[in-house]
A = this chain, B = another copy of it.
Amino acid sequence: MKVERILSRAVPGEDPRGTLESYLREKGLRLTRQREAILEIFLAHPQHISVEDLYKRVRKADPGIGFATVYRTLKLLTQCGLAEERHFQGGRSRYEPAASEHHDHCICTVCGKIVEFENPTIEQLQDEAAEQLGFELTHHRMELYGICAECRQRPVRRRR
């Protein structure tokens, strides 16, 4: 089982910037200073950034950018396949760069750490389970919640 993702998300032979540009051109949309900045900062961030967090970082780089633009651009990135929206416990949206491979999440309920993993055996069983229920599986969501090794050793830690 592969337990942690490689942090660089670049799909070999395909660059995200190019993907965005093609998508924009195809749809008759425009590549703006703001979209470039948001994409860059979004990709630079390791994982699962919240909209608010991304907004703050983007603001630091370019103080003129508004909240609405960040939201609009994240929707755009989602549409062109560069970003994926997540809804972990708590309700507010987080986005992560679209991975070339599917993965699931393991989340520490103490410090909030999120580790990505994949497990083909489980995937296989999920397919089978869905089939038995009469479903043709399109996608799934699996989140494991627990306490990470660090937090078990050092119990008092603030939530990220």
Chain A residues in the interface with B (C-beta under 8 A): 1, 3, 87, 89, 91, 106, 108-109, 115, 117, 119, 121-122, 125-126, 129-130, 132-150, 152
Contact = CB atoms under 8 A, between A and B. Distances in A.
A147 B136 contact: yes
The list of the 7 closest CB pairs from A to B, nearest first, reads: A134-B149, A135-B146, A137-B146, A142-B142, A140-B144, A141-B143, A130-B144
Contact of A122 (B117, B129, B150): B129
Given A115-B135, A126-B142, A126-B144, 14 more contacts: A3-B132, A3-B133, A87-B87, A87-B91, A89-B141, A106-B133, A129-B144, A135-B144, A135-B147, A136-B147, A137-B146, A138-B145, A140-B144, A141-B141
- Main secondary structure, interface of A, reads mixed
Number of this chain's copies in the complex = 2
A137 B1 CA distance: 17
Nearest to A143: B141
Contacts of A1: 129, 132
A68 to B, nearest CB: 19
Contacts of A117: 129, 133
